[in-house]
Amino acid sequence: MLRMLSMRDLRNTPGRFWKTLKGDRMIALSVNGVPKAVVVSVPDGDLEAAVRLVTRVRAQEATDAAERIGAEPGTEGMTLDETGAEISAARRLDEFERVKAIVSSYRLVDTPAIVAAREYGYDIGLLKHSVAEASRYQLPNAQPAYAGRGSTYVREARDVPGDRRIAPEAVTMLRQLATYEVRFVVIGGVAAQLHGSARITKDLDILYDTAPDNIERLAALLIRWRSYLRVDPGLPFTPDARTIKSIEVLTLETEHGKFDVLQRVAGVGTYADALAAMRPFPVADFAVNALSLESLIKSKLAAGRPRDKTEVLELEALRTIAEQQRAALEDGG
């Protein structure tokens, strides 16, 4: 019989919890008498074996759910494709859990980049966690993946409800840029945050396509945001296409916050040059393109300011952590 312990037991008498788990290998956790979770011990420290066990259970659960849906009134005609899509959605969730388990448990190996960042004062444990979070956002089911019948279970089970990496003001601006179909690449601090940087910033910097149609869309959005020049707020400024085209770097203040608009980035080049050095990132319920870590490092080195040199230490550590994480995923796959 499955033993049930409460969250209160876990908090107040953890020794009893671990002793019970060691003996029974499985415990049901309850909150106010209602079962909420099942805790399974990891056999002989083999995390992958435990994850495979949970995966098999989830697959069977998905199959059972599909059969129940097919038996409900009005769903007798559920096709094999729909059933297969339901099971595939559950498998994507299983992959999400597998990746989460691996990126949370692999051992980070010190390298010169990590040592340098630690000695400067960066929290390597926090960076490792941030890179793990960034990788989870990259999974297909970090965003809604299947909206057919019976997908409620899959959506509710995800634990990535929104974007926790970047400031709400930046998310608002990015969403509107995407809605207006402006072609751009995220650069600067927000791009670093998407890769896992622990720095705090509300400022959004972009590198944009200077094609006439794109500048027109960008101008319309800048007018909507009541944009003005940050360096001299009293200076007359009309963000029309002609003005935007004539200024290579615009440092603006908008109703959503600071917004820098660039035609060229040192060490990277123009938007056309950046196309080969960018990668997509889901942000909340949409996606944007941001410079790769390698290109962010090049841009910081080319800028050469004192703060850029210290930020390079963090970016190089993030690159090393990401490489080790990818290796851990490949070994665990």
Please spell the DSSP secondary structure of 11-38, one letter per residue.
HH-HHHHHHHHHHHSEEEEEETTEEEEE
Q: What per-residue confidence (pLDDT) applies to 146? A: 26
Classify residue 62: in a domain, yes or no.
no
Q: What per-residue confidence (pLDDT) applies to 11? A: 76
Q: Give CA–CA dist 38/2, Å, rounded.
A: 9
Q: What per-residue confidence (pLDDT) applies to 132? A: 81
Counting every residue written for the chain, the total comes to 333
Classify residue 81: in a domain, yes or no.
no
Classify residue 148: in a domain, yes or no.
no
Q: What per-residue confidence (pLDDT) applies to 205? A: 96
CATH number assigned to the domain comprising residue 253: 3.30.460.40
What angle separates helix 306-332 from helix 188-195, to the nearest 10 degrees?
A: 30
Classify residue 279: in a domain, yes or no.
yes
Q: What per-residue confidence (pLDDT) applies to 131? A: 85
Q: Give CA–CA dist 197/297, Å, rounded.
A: 12
Q: What per-residue confidence (pLDDT) applies to 294? A: 94
What is the per-residue pLDDT across 40-65, written as a single tens digit (0 to 9) for each? 777 666 666 666 666 666 666 666 66
Q: Give CA–CA dist 115/122, Å, rounded.
A: 10
Taking 50 as the pLDDT cut, the residues of the chain under it are 75, 139-162, 333
Give yes or no: residues 176 and 318 share one domain: yes
Pairing of strands 3-6, 26-31: parallel
Classify residue 212: in a domain, yes or no.
yes
Q: What per-residue confidence (pLDDT) applies to 198? A: 85
Domain range for 8 is 1-41
Question: What is the residue-wise DSSP string for 192-204?
Answer: HHHHT-------E
Classify residue 163: in a domain, yes or no.
no
What's the total number of domains in the chain? 2
Classify residue 330: in a domain, yes or no.
no
CATH number assigned to the domain comprising residue 24: 3.40.1620.10
Classify residue 251: in a domain, yes or no.
yes
Give yes or no: residues 172 and 29 share one domain: no
Kindly report the CA angle at 165 between 229 and 227, in degrees rounded to 5? 15
Q: What per-residue confidence (pLDDT) applies to 7? A: 78
Pairing of strands 249-254, 228-229: antiparallel
| Token duo for residue 252 | 């603006």
